[in-house]
Structures are given as C-alpha cells and as structure tokens.
Structure 1
Amino acid sequence: MQTFEQGAFDPTVVGTFPRPAPGEEGTASYTDADTERWFVEAPKSKFRTPFERDRARVVHSSGLRRLGAKTQVLGPGSDDFVRTRLTHSLEVAQVGREMGRALGCDPDLVDTACLTHDLGHPPFGHNGERALAEVARDVGGFEGNAQTLRLLTRLEPKIFTADGRPMGLNLTRASLDASVKYPWRYGAGPTKPDGGTTHKFGVYPDDTPVFDWLRQGAPRGARCMEAQVMDLADDISYSVHDVEDAVVGGRLDLALLHDEAERARVAEHVRAWYGTWHDADALDAALLRLLETGDLVTDFDGSRRSLAQLKDATSQLIGRFSGAAQTATRDLFGDGHLTRYTARLLVPDETADEILALKGVAVTYVMAPREQEPLYQRQREVIADLVGVLADRGPVALEPSFAADWRAAPDDDARLRVVVDQVASLTDVSAMQLHARLVPGHD
C-alpha cells in the first residue's frame, strides 16, 4: 500500500487536527484558521461559503483562461480533439471533486485546488518548463507549482492592500495549502529511493512569507488530504486521457501492448523518466491486468462507435483507480470527514503501478519520440530568446503590469524573475507571436 505523499508523512500527526463528526457538511468540517485569508477582507455575502468564493475567483481568473491555449501533451493547434491545459484542468477538477466528496473533503475546496494545479505552467508544456528552469537556475529556478503559488498570491489581479500591495486572488489558507503539490523549498524535497532529491518544489525564495503563513500548523513536508486528492486526480486524468488523445490522434495502437517486447519498452521508459527503482515486472503485470479488463481499446478504427467505446473505457479506468484509493483510505481511517491533516490518501500498490504504466505508455509512444522533433527543440529556443531580449529591453518590451514590477525590483535577480513571470504567463500562440515581433527573422 502506498501513501500518496511526495514527502515524509508522520503517522503520529494524524488525529492531532480536529476530526469532524459524521454528517457535518461543507465548511463545518474546517476551522476558522482554514478559512482565514492572508489579507483580511471586508465581510462578504453569507450566501456562499469561503471555499465557494475561492472557486469562483479561480474560475474567473485570467490565468485559468490562458490555459485554453497552453499545451497539455500535444499542442493546442494539433487537432480539434486534443486536450489543452484548460480542458485537462476541468477534467481533473471533476475527478478530484467526486473523490474528495467521497472522502468527506469540501468539494469546492478540492475543486479549487484542481483548477489551480496547472496555472503556473508556461507555454509549450513541460518543454517550456524545462527551458525556463534552465534560464532561472541562478535566481531560484522555475517550477510550475511554485509559479502557481506566485500567481495565486501575487500576480493574478484581484485584491490589493490599502498601500497598493498585490495579494493575488487572496484565497483561504486551506485552498492555498491544497494547491501546493510540493510543500518545500528548492532543493529541500524528500529523498528519492535512489538517494537523490526531487527537483520539484513549491515556493520561490521571495514568496516564502505567504508560504510560511499558509503552512501554519501543517506537518513539515506533508501535504493536506485535499492536495493529495488533487494530485491523484491529476495523475489519474493525464494517465488515462493522454493515452486517449494518442489513440484518437493515430499515434498509438493499444494492441501493441499484447506484445511482451512492447510492454518491456514501456517499462524501460517508465524507469528512464520516473525512476530506475520502479520494478519492470510489476509494470508488465499492471499492463496485463489492464488488458484483461477490456478497458484498453485495442481495435480502435475512428468510427463513432469506437470513439464511444474509448470514452467509456476511460470512464471505467478513472472509476477503477479512484475507487481503489477511496476504498483503501476508508478501510484505514473509517467514516467521517477525512480533511486536511486528519488522514492521508492511500493507493494500493497494484493501482499505483497501473497508473504509472499508463503514464509510461504515453511517454513511450508520444512524449519520448517528440523530444527529438525540430519543433520541440525550437520551442526551447523561443523561450530562451524571449527571456534574453526581455531582460535586455526591460520595461520597454514588457507588458505594463510586468514593467511596473521591473521598475520596483531591487536588483538584477529580481528583474530576471519578473521576466520569467512575463514569459510564463504567455500562451503557446502569444509566445510565438511575441518572439516574431521581438526577434525578427528567426521564426
């Protein structure tokens, strides 16, 4: 049985937070500290809970709208069917909301965490993230989740203090905490099975004050239940939906997985991308189990009937994975509301292997091959070029809001961070358009 935690979880901590009685609804399961906001606002309408208000702020944010033109796995313009970061986030929210509700979490709180989980991702998906991490390595690095926290608490225009300080969306403590996948600073993550440390992190140095505030009362390195639900919903969604996109797009024939050699290829890609400690035999067994369920459509022909079969299969897989986690978690922690730090999400080993194996299928047949395509090399060059020219031209070339940040920045490192903020906010299309305007003759 696996704890769905990226960091060490101290089981002695479970139960030190108030556990609500069965039957309590909504925010009754949460404390005043959970619904507190970093900047105290005037009283609002009593017709909505604090978490309903948080969700509404995210839904109406410019950051969420931009996800509609940002790459998930395949570029938004590659065909009409492929998922974008926005449609992926909506699907994650649906999966997470239902899973959270089943475990007694506030569904709006989980929904908010799911909708925000990719807000900080730059143009060109993980390709753009790697490019920005390289240019920002000397100023605290770049990570999509850390950028999400920065957007929610600083960059998204919604709430300002009386003295003009931006507070972003000013979400509640519980919503911000639930949005943090990696609750540690750069280089301070948990040790991996191979002895190294994860490159993922959740906060930049100059965002430490709000990070410390939202983590008050939280066990060090542990994620709240709502964040764990969000993370598993994300894993489930992209493991299933990326494979669906690949099948419909003609990039993958799942019948290949009947071949032992092809399953071995998948296992090797999993080990190369996600860690050599993953057992190849367990991954092979996971793929065989999935084939036996009939939920991997191996005779897809593009017809409306086969599209319906594929869609039903994705639903069955989502139910299989989320249901297994819900059952395992309830078996250990019992009934009632499993919220915040009163419990942890458990995923059976076989379920975790099946999710990882499906992620490996997408890597093997879609993500790894594209790494050598000229388009993906070009995307990284576009990111590097944009950072270079914006850092050189400063406020003359930056959007007005980022130009103001540049002028207020105390040093070159802070100014580079502003440039990274600007580039990360771009969509795939606007990044290419800005590059064509600022770096003529190179597109």
Structure 2
Amino acid sequence: MTKGSHYTAEDSRRWVAEPPKKGYRSDFERDRARVLHSSALRRLGAKTQVVAPDTDDFVRTRLTHSLEVAQVGRELGRVLGCDPDVVDAACLSHDLGHPPFGHNGESALNEIAHRIGGFEGNAQTLRLLTRLEPKVLDAEGRPAGLNLTRASLDAACKYPWTAPDAPLVHGQRTSKFGAYEDDLAIFEWIREGAPAGRSCLEAQIMDLSDDIAYSVHDVEDAIVAGKFQLRWMANPDHRARVVGYTQQWYLPHSDPEGIDAALARLEATPVWVLEADGSRKSMAALKNMTSQLIGRFCDSALGLTRAAFGDAPLTRYAAQVVVPEETVMEIAVMKGLATTFVMTTDHRQPIYERQREVLHALVTALSATGDRHLEPMFAADWRAAEDEAARLRVVIDQVASLTDSSALAWYERLVGSLPSLW
C-alpha cells in the first residue's frame, strides 16, 4: 500500500508487477513523475488548445492547459482528502490522447476510424498510458505503457465505458467513451470492483478542474488575442449569440433566461473586466479575474460536496463531486463566450476544413505505404497487426501522436504542397 491510508494495496497495484523500489517516493508520486516525463505530455506543447500555438506567445497550448488543470485539481483533491499525486497524474494525463488541431482533429480521425470503433481522445489517452508510451514491457515483451497504478489509471478515466456501453444522456447515447474494444482487457482490470458507469472521485475532480480551467482561461486567451471584449455583452445581438451558443453547445436542456441570468451573475462580480487594452494594469485586472473566478467555482463545489458527504477524507468511490447548478451554468457561459468569438467565427471554417483535409490525406498516404514512413515503434506495431483493421488503428495512433506543426510537415513530405490558407 502506498502513502495515504485511505488507499488500498489494490489501488496501488500495477498491470505489470514491478520489483519493489527503494527511496522516498510513494507509488502515486512515481505515477505523477512518469506522466510528467512522458514524451506524450511534451508533445502537448505544440498542440492546439483553442487558439493555435503558433499564432501568439501568450496563448495556452494543451500542455500549459494541462499544467493549470493539474494545479486546480491537486488542490481540490487535497482539500477533499484524495492523494494529490493521483489527481495530479490524472489531470496531467487528461489531454494526452488529443490529436493535432484540437477537437477538429478528433472529429476528423473519428470519421476516418468509424469502421474500426471510431476515435475518441479519452480512449486514446488510456491507450497511450497503457500501451503506446514507452516505459514498461511485460514478461512477453508486450508494451504496458507507463504501467501506472490502478488508482491513477482509473482517475484518468473520464468516461468509464466502451462505445457500445455508452449511457443515454437526455435520451441520446453519448458519443464519448473511455476505451477501445482492443484495450478492453486493461480497461476491465482498471475497473475491477468499480460501480458500472461511474467515475471515481479523483476522475470527477479532474473533470471539474478541466472544465473550470479551460472555461476561464479560454476567455482570457481570446480577450488578449483581440477576439472580443466583455463589454460587448451590453450589445443585445452579441449577448443573444453567446446565450444561444451556450445553450446549443453546453446546456441544451436549459432555458435562455437561466443562461442569461448566469451571465448577469458573472457580470455583477467586482472582478469582471469590461475591457483589456493590453496595458499592465488591465492585464493584471484580467489575470485577477481569472484567478477569482477559478476560486469562485472551486469554492462552490467544495462547499456542496462537503455538505453532502461530511468532513472525513474522501477518496475513490466514497463520495462524488457535487457542483451547484448555478455554478454549472456559469462555467458553461464562460465556455460559450470562447465558442462564440473564437471557435464559430466564419473565418475559422475554411481553416477547419483544411485541417481535416490534412489528416484524411495523411491517413490515406500512410495506409498505402505500409510501415515505410511510420516511426519505428508504430512500424513494429503495424508489422505485428493481425488484420487490416488493426493496421488502420496503428496508422491512426501514429497520426494522433503528431503535433500541429509535425502533421503539416508530414503532409508536405508525403502528400505535397499544403492546402491553401497555410
């Protein structure tokens, strides 16, 4: 059993048994270190969060976003009684499976992989942690990824089900899932003894921290990048668009009046920055706003969770995170601001089309040339694949591992001149 008396020996168990290690670190501290030193985490530094990483020195990448999520999650977990390193490792891991070009790239690869079970960033994260990232091999020489403990892997499972078992949400089956069918063995091992379809407390903290961090920071990035100002919300047309996109993308079963009220609550806070002009004073005010809003959202969730489950240390399946409905709506409104003024603007649509074109062409080119252009690890996987479907999954793994810039470089090398807009 690792440090932290509320975790068991089964929580600390690894898929591939490792010799006992001497030293001052717990099993969970080793998990966090393995993720922090992984090549998959480093690659997030060149992957799109919302604004492309090569457009501005200030904007967040998926790496800086993951570090910020880990900071929020670690503190939330510590206050509730979780091992901070379990939560930290899960937060650092949560975006590892995202391909080039953000959610647009994820959508493109899902289209390409539809006949082999699709592509899902969270399922790809599990695949990286348990198979693709080089660290540990089993006795037969098969890859075991980073070989994290059961508790840390479970904490990284945001959607603890496979695609066929995905639950119904408001009458529709969710498209999100956490494991591919050919990763079922390790997934079932991770989930031994867990309630079906329920994520552990540490995973719920990771999920909430992700929502909080990107809802606030994406707005900050968009303002600094000159995409919009919060004073625009005084314009009825702009305000209606934000309310509409918030409802369409994040709160489809909420009424517009409730969403507008959530925006009004945020506007009434003393830290709301109507306009940032790039001066040091305005930038400090903007940074203070992001900090205070993160605290606002965290405090509300901590208060309601403690009210529901008491003051004892909470871990694994002893409790669930409880978030007030008003906070859920305020977080969604922050997401809606970035969606309205960054992700859905007309000038972005041709770029999204070119990004999808690049990924489709890369998969086609690599599939047609066998293992010739694959990196050595993926080439070995391709040669070991048993059928065409397994080989396509290897190609998808390779393309998903690329950064935004390396995907473009591979396209130029394997296909030809980049599509217009690049």
Report which stretch shifted further, 281-290 or 250-259.
250-259
| 1:62 to 2:39 alignment | yes
| 1:189 to 2:151 alignment | no
Match for residue 360 of structure 2 among 384, 387, 392: 384
Is 2:44–2:61's contact at 8 Å kept on the other side of the alignment? yes
Compute the RMSD of aligned alpha carbons: 1.2
Report which stretch shifted further, 239-248 or 296-305.
296-305
Match for residue 221 of structure 1 among 197, 212, 234: 197
Match for residue 396 of structure 1 among 372, 375, 381: 372
Match for residue 418 of structure 1 among 394, 403, 416: 394
Q: CA deviation at 1:81?
A: 0.4
Match for residue 321 of structure 2 among 322, 345, 354: 345
User: 3-state DSSP class of the match of 1:293?
Assistant: coil
Q: 1:433: which partner in 2?
A: 409
Report which stretch shifted further, 355-364 or 290-299.
290-299
Which string of whole-angstrom CA distances, capped at 9 and with x for unpartnered residues, describes residues 230-264 of structure 1?
00000000000000000001001100123344322
Q: CA deviation at 1:372?
A: 4.6
Which string of whole-angstrom CA distances, capped at 9 and with x for unpartnered residues, describes residues 30-88 of structure 1?
01110000110001124111110000000110000000000001111010000000000
- The amino acid across from 2:16 in the alignment is F
- The amino acid across from 1:175 in the alignment is S
Is 1:62–1:156's contact at 8 Å kept on the other side of the alignment? yes
Match for residue 293 of structure 1 among 247, 269, 272: 269
**Aligned equivalents of 2:35 and 2:411: distance in 1?**
29
**Aligned equivalents of 1:404 and 1:151: distance in 2?**
16
| 1:263 to 2:239 alignment | yes
Is 2:408–2:418's contact at 8 Å kept on the other side of the alignment? no
Q: 2:112: which partner in 1?
A: 135
- The amino acid across from 2:392 in the alignment is L
Q: 1:204: which partner in 2?
A: 180
Q: CA deviation at 1:402?
A: 0.5
Percentage identity across paired residues of the two chains: 61
Which string of whole-angstrom CA distances, capped at 9 and with x for unpartnered residues, describes residues 381-411 of structure 1?
0000000010110101111110100000000
Q: CA deviation at 1:26?
A: 4.5
Report which stretch shifted further, 367-376 or 155-164.
367-376
Which string of whole-angstrom CA distances, capped at 9 and with x for unpartnered residues, describes residues 304-326 of structure 1?
11101100110000000011000
**Aligned equivalents of 1:185 and 1:219: distance in 2?**
14
Q: 1:251 to 1:133 in 2, by over 3 A?
A: same
Q: CA deviation at 1:371?
A: 7.2
Q: 1:355 to 1:389 in 2, by over 3 A?
A: same
Is 1:257–1:287's contact at 8 Å kept on the other side of the alignment? no
User: 3-state DSSP class of the match of 2:165?
Assistant: coil
Is 1:178–1:226's contact at 8 Å kept on the other side of the alignment? yes
TM-score by length of 2: 0.97
Match for residue 254 of structure 1 among 208, 215, 230: 230
Is 1:70–1:125's contact at 8 Å kept on the other side of the alignment? yes
Is 1:27–1:49's contact at 8 Å kept on the other side of the alignment? no
Which string of whole-angstrom CA distances, capped at 9 and with x for unpartnered residues, describes residues 348-402 of structure 1?
0100100011111111111111675322211110000000010110101111110
Q: Which residues in structure 2 correspond to 1:270-309 (within 5 Å)?
A: 270-309=246-285
User: 3-state DSSP class of the match of 1:271?
Assistant: helix
Q: 1:243: which partner in 2?
A: 219
User: 3-state DSSP class of the match of 1:373?
Assistant: helix
- The amino acid across from 1:182 in the alignment is Y
Q: 1:98: which partner in 2?
A: 75
Which string of whole-angstrom CA distances, capped at 9 and with x for unpartnered residues, describes residues 87-138 of structure 1?
0000000000011111111111100000000000000000100000000010
Q: CA deviation at 1:163?
A: 1.6
Q: Which has the higher contact order (CA 8 A, sep 6+)?
A: 1
Q: 2:134: which partner in 1?
A: 157
**Aligned equivalents of 2:417 and 2:350: distance in 1?**
17
Which string of whole-angstrom CA distances, capped at 9 and with x for unpartnered residues, describes residues 288-316 of structure 1?
00000033310211101110110011000
Is 1:186–1:199's contact at 8 Å kept on the other side of the alignment? yes
Q: Which residues in structure 2 correspond to 1:11-22 (within 5 Å)?
A: none
- The amino acid across from 1:189 in the alignment is A
**Aligned equivalents of 1:376 and 1:279: distance in 2?**
30
| 1:89 to 2:66 alignment | yes
- The amino acid across from 2:255 in the alignment is D
**Aligned equivalents of 2:334 and 2:225: distance in 1?**
17
Q: 1:167 to 1:370 in 2, by over 3 A?
A: farther
Q: CA deviation at 1:275?
A: 5.0
Which string of whole-angstrom CA distances, capped at 9 and with x for unpartnered residues, describes residues 159-205 of structure 1?
01122110000000000000010001114222122x11111000000
Equivalent pairs counted in the alignment come to 418
Is 2:40–2:96's contact at 8 Å kept on the other side of the alignment? yes
Match for residue 45 of structure 1 among 22, 26, 33: 22
Q: 1:109: which partner in 2?
A: 86
Q: 1:107 to 1:371 in 2, by over 3 A?
A: farther
- The amino acid across from 1:83 in the alignment is R
**Aligned equivalents of 1:251 and 1:330: distance in 2?**
39
**Aligned equivalents of 2:377 and 2:241: distance in 1?**
47
Report which stretch shifted further, 211-220 or 179-188.
179-188
Q: 1:374: which partner in 2?
A: 350
TM-score by length of 1: 0.93
